Structure 1
């Protein structure tokens, strides 16, 4: 997994908002949060929480983008169902999660499988990863990330 102080990988990430972002390119702070699957309880709560704080993130100059392996059509349906305002990126080929190190072995009820690790990265204006939250606990996470953005 990418660590604090490292440069963000240079990637062209297309979002549901119709924009393409490069985490390594200079710009405002960028929050990339990786989540396992659209329309599941924890992932929905996380997306709703980031949406609720969207104005505060924008006022702090930061963009927030959610990333999962779901296809863009599923992202659009998910965003519409819950009124999400956070752009979502479809990592169908795994290039983004591989570059950030968020795709790995998981375990559920003793069964091992490959899946998306819930993790968040705060990237500064110069493309350097300033904070990493591995193994995110959803409750209070968006607020904690916002506090870190404001502290940059």
Structure 2
């Protein structure tokens, strides 16, 4: 079962005329190891965890991006670093899915300052693209 279906079921089990609010972390989580390589599958040891700006990802042109549409997750692996993050299109899908079931849905976005991108290093990226995608899914 995907996390979105689990969230929907939990919210529905609350019953009543409630307003539900979800939180979204706009920081990119960067995990680093000093030995071997990091992977979700092999229970790798993590030496450090940092919250970094989204623009750090666009500067890694040779890294492998992994998008899991069932779990609605995005990750990127580069040598001894593993990044997990929210992708704009996936955020819009999450908001639209929950909004269809819960029209009064509200969204709290954390670390919006880390959604910025460096225009020179990432000329193809839109400023605040992920925050704007959340806005598209909410009423005026």
TM-score, normalising length: structure 2? 0.31
Structure with greater Cα Rg: 2
